[in-house]
Homo-oligomer: A and B are copies of this chain.
């Protein structure tokens, strides 16, 4: 997934504000799910299911600046009953800027409690 850096993403250090890389990764996870056929809005409204970040380890190696075009790579590492482990890396061209490993938990959207990943979605993910 391609991401363009706009003014909103930067800070007065002249680079992308660190927390905003998490936005880029979240956009990439959303598109990764959409590519699998999963729409998070209808998943929440119709099935009362949400995917939320439970754990995250990030290494900020290099900074991006205004107008950069970045690519986010998302890779499924492990599929567990109620969560999934992902690797998400952000590149500028061939250069690795950000490395992260993320656990995304499946939860009940109204009670915010752990939930088994719906079987249909699990099957789609197992095809990866």
Residue numbers of A with Cβ under 8 A of B are: 4, 6-8, 10-15, 17-20, 22-23, 26-27, 30, 39-42, 44, 50, 52-60, 63, 65-67, 109, 112
19 contacts between A and B (CB under 8 A): A6-B27, A7-B17, A7-B30, A8-B11, A8-B23, A8-B27, A11-B11, A12-B13, A12-B14, A12-B65, A18-B22, A18-B53, A30-B67, A41-B67, A53-B60, A55-B58, A55-B60, A56-B57, A56-B60
Number of copies: 4
* Known contacts A52-B18, A63-B112; A10/B8 CB under 8 A: no
Q: A12-B65, A39-B67, A41-B67 are in contact. List 14 more A-B contacts (CB 8 A).
A: A8-B11, A8-B19, A8-B26, A10-B11, A12-B13, A12-B15, A13-B50, A13-B109, A19-B26, A40-B66, A52-B60, A55-B57, A55-B58, A56-B56
